Structures are given as structure tokens and as C-alpha cells.
Amino acid sequence: MPKPLVAIDASLAYGTNTGDSTYWTGLLTGLAEVELPFDVLLLSDQPKPMGTDFSWQQVKGGARWRSLVGMPMAARRAGAAAYHTQYTLSPLARGGITTIHDVSFFVGPEWFKPKDRILMQRTVPASARRAKKVITVSQASKRDVVRFTGVDPDKVVVTYNAAPSWFEPVSQPGAAPVEGPYLLTIGARWPRKNLGLAIRAVGLLPDSIPHKLLVVGKEGWGEEGAGPRIVSTGYLPNESLPALYAGADLFLFPSFYEGFGIPMVEAFASGTPVLSSAGGSLPEVSGGAAEILDSFEPEDWAAAIVSLLNDSSKMAKMRERGLARCKDFNWTDTARRTAAVYSEVIG
């Protein structure tokens, strides 16, 4: 008897290092490592990449058409009993499952351009109600998904993220695009990421702290500021990031809100201490391994940076706790939990 089929929207898998791409690439990597009671069909607008053994179908057309028509119909024609995408789930989907990483467009609508905010606020609650199951990436995000979409909490399943599957911590940092000691912050240049707080805080550091701030991430929108201590690199390829983490004395994560916060786990895996905001899931993901600062004032962040850099004993303990905490997250476990959701939907 043939196995049932699960179709997955893999449009964002194997892409550049954003959180969504990391999620889909990590999930598919994990699914390939576990025994599955169903077959998997990956749908994408891109040709089949090297390195995946799952069946692959290319679906062409504009992004909106693919999301609402092309991919769910391709899944139906293939006989899929379940279809997994993220955020917007088409009414045409059979056995629909949606991953809602976060609902920051409700929590902080000012962090989004009006067109994007309105689209997400209109489509995501309906998608959550339409879905057979909703997956999200932390308990904090689950609470907000339930609050803002009104879905039954029993319908929402938490599967944690992990460090990217390509992320291999290095024992020796490589050459950094900055001389001398440095702090690090990473994130797409969006208002929600609040990178400007890290920039302003570093600008307040006393001369006794010689560190510069390395700011890594894709260009976006919103004002951040600059200063003599700031070195902005823009986007950097995946393979360069482990060495940058390992070379940093402290990782700054000032985000207003995160559904999970993968950079925190990347820093933990690198043995790099983390100073983080309390935005969204970050205290939960930290598990006590990061220094959590419940303030978005640059003076408070500057004082916390000085205090940590001058406390080598505390920093050593933070490194140990971070290395232990990162082991709590892995894509194989995420894949097993996600596969259980598929099986439940298939029935």
C-alpha cells in the first residue's frame, strides 16, 4: 500500500541566511534524517537544488499566485493529504498546516510598512482558523498567536528552531573586518530588530572600553544611526558567520520582539556571551544563559556592556551556560515534532 503524501512549500529553503530560510532548510534537513511514515513532495519556484533526496516540483508564476493557487493546486493534483506552508494558507489547500513564526505585525504594527502590515493582519488570522494545525516556534509566540488570531490553543503546536544546519562553531576565530576587540550584532535592517539601540549604546561607551561594534545584516529600512565605533558590513555569506561570532567578546541582541531568535542560539553555540532584550521569546530561548535587559534605553545598555566586559568570571559562566543551552535545540527534534503534526493531519 503506498504511503500518504505530504507536500511542503519549500520556496524559502536553501536560501540566504534569514530566519525563515533557516527554519525551512533546517526542517527539511531534519526530515531527511528521520524515518517517516509518509512521502514528501517539495514545491518551489526554483529548480531542484543539489543535496535533497525528496521529490521536487517546480511551480512557476508570481509569488502571490503561487501561494494562493499554484502550490496548493499542485499539492492537490499530486494527491497530498497534507500541505505545509507559512503564514498565508490558501483556501484551496487540502490538509493545510501553516507555520506562523510570530505575529509581530500585531504586537508592534509600527515596525512594518503599512502595505505589509495590512496584508499580514488580514490574511494570517483567517489562515490560522482555516488550518488543520498551526505550528509556531516558542511558547511566547504561541501565546501571541492565540491572542491575536483567536484560534484554539490545542490547535497550535510549538516546535523550536535551532542553529542553522550549516553552522559549525569554530575553535579559532578568523579574520574580522575590524581591528581590535569587537562586539557583534546581527539582523536584517528592520525597525523590529532595533539595531539602532546597539549602535547608540556603543556610542556611549567610555574610552576605557576599546571595542567597536560589528553590524551584520541585509539592508532594510528605518533609521539606525552611525558612529566612529561602528563597522557595518551589510550581508555576509553563511560560511563567514561562525568565525565572526567566535571572535566577538559579546553579542548584542536588542530586538523589540522575536518569535524565537536564532542568532541567540548561534552565539551560544560559538561560546559567545549574549546581552539580550526581553523582547518576545528571548528570555524563554535564553533559558538563563543570556544576560536579559528589560530596558530599551541606550544608557542602560552601555552600562550593562561595561559591567559584563569588566567581569571575566561572569562572562566565563555565561559561555558555559550558552554552550549547554544550545544543545537543547536541534533540527532533528524539530523534524520529529513536525512529522507528528503531519501524521495527525493525515489521520
Q: Are 291 and 304 in contact (CB under 8 A)?
A: yes
- pLDDT tens digits along 275-317: 999 999 999 999 999 999 999 999 999 999 999 999 999 999 9
**The pLDDT of residue 174 is above 70:** no
Q: Are 345 and 97 in contact (CB under 8 A)?
A: yes
**pLDDT at residue 19, rounded to an integer:** 81
Most confident of 175-179, 237-241, 272-276: 272-276
Global pTM value: 0.94
Residues in Cβ contact with 7 at an 8 Å cutoff, skipping those fewer than 6 apart: 40, 41, 42, 43, 71, 74, 75, 78, 80, 82, 83, 84
Mean pLDDT is lowest, of 54-58, 177-181, 192-196, 209-213, for: 177-181
Q: What CATH number labels 182-328? A: 3.40.50.2000
- Residue for grid cell 493534483: 77
Q: How does the average pLDDT of the chain come out, rounded?
A: 94
Assigned C-alpha cell, 44? 518551489
**pLDDT at residue 173, rounded to an integer:** 67
Question: Per-residue confidence at 17, pLDDT binned at 50, 70, 90?
Answer: low
> Burial level of 179, CB count in 10 A (0-12/13-18/19+)?
exposed
DSSP code for 310: T
Cβ-based neighbour number of residue 206 at 10 Å: 8
**The pLDDT of residue 222 is above 70:** no
Closest by CA position to 163, among listed 265, 285, 37, 306: 265
Question: Per-residue confidence at 165, pLDDT binned at 50, 70, 90?
Answer: confident
CA atoms of 76 and 78, how far apart (whole Å) = 5
CA atoms of 141 and 137, how far apart (whole Å) = 7
**The pLDDT of residue 224 is above 70:** no
- Could you give the residue range(s) of every CATH 3.40.50.2000 domain in the chain? 5-162+330-346, 182-328
**pLDDT at residue 26, rounded to an integer:** 95
CA atoms of 272 and 320, how far apart (whole Å) = 9
Q: Which residue has the higher pLDDT, 175 or 136?
A: 136
**The pLDDT of residue 166 is above 90:** no
Residues in Cβ contact with 319 at an 8 Å cutoff, skipping those fewer than 6 apart: 271, 272, 273
Assigned C-alpha cell, 260? 524565537
Question: Per-residue confidence at 221, pLDDT binned at 50, 70, 90?
Answer: low
**pLDDT at residue 238, rounded to an integer:** 83
**The pLDDT of residue 176 is above 80:** no
Residue range 47-75: mean pLDDT, rounded: 93
Beta pairing class for 133-136 and 55-58: unpaired
Closest by CA position to 120, among listed 154, 79, 86: 86
Q: Which residue has the higher pLDDT, 17 or 58?
A: 58
Cβ-based neighbour number of residue 113 at 10 Å: 12
**pLDDT at residue 189, rounded to an integer:** 81
**pLDDT at residue 223, rounded to an integer:** 63
Residues in Cβ contact with 223 at an 8 Å cutoff, skipping those fewer than 6 apart: 196
Q: What is the third-level CATH fold of 5-162+330-346? A: Rossmann fold (3.40.50)
Residue range 246-252: mean pLDDT, rounded: 96
- pLDDT tens digits along 90-139: 999 999 999 999 999 999 999 999 999 999 999 999 999 999 999 999 99
**pLDDT at residue 314, rounded to an integer:** 98
Question: Per-residue confidence at 169, pLDDT binned at 50, 70, 90?
Answer: confident
CA atoms of 217 and 229, how far apart (whole Å) = 17
The DSSP-derived string for 82-138 is: EEEEES---TT-SSEEEE----HHHH-GGGS-HHHHHHHHHHHHHHHHH-SEEEESS
Backbone angles phi, psi at 25, to 5 degrees: -65, -45
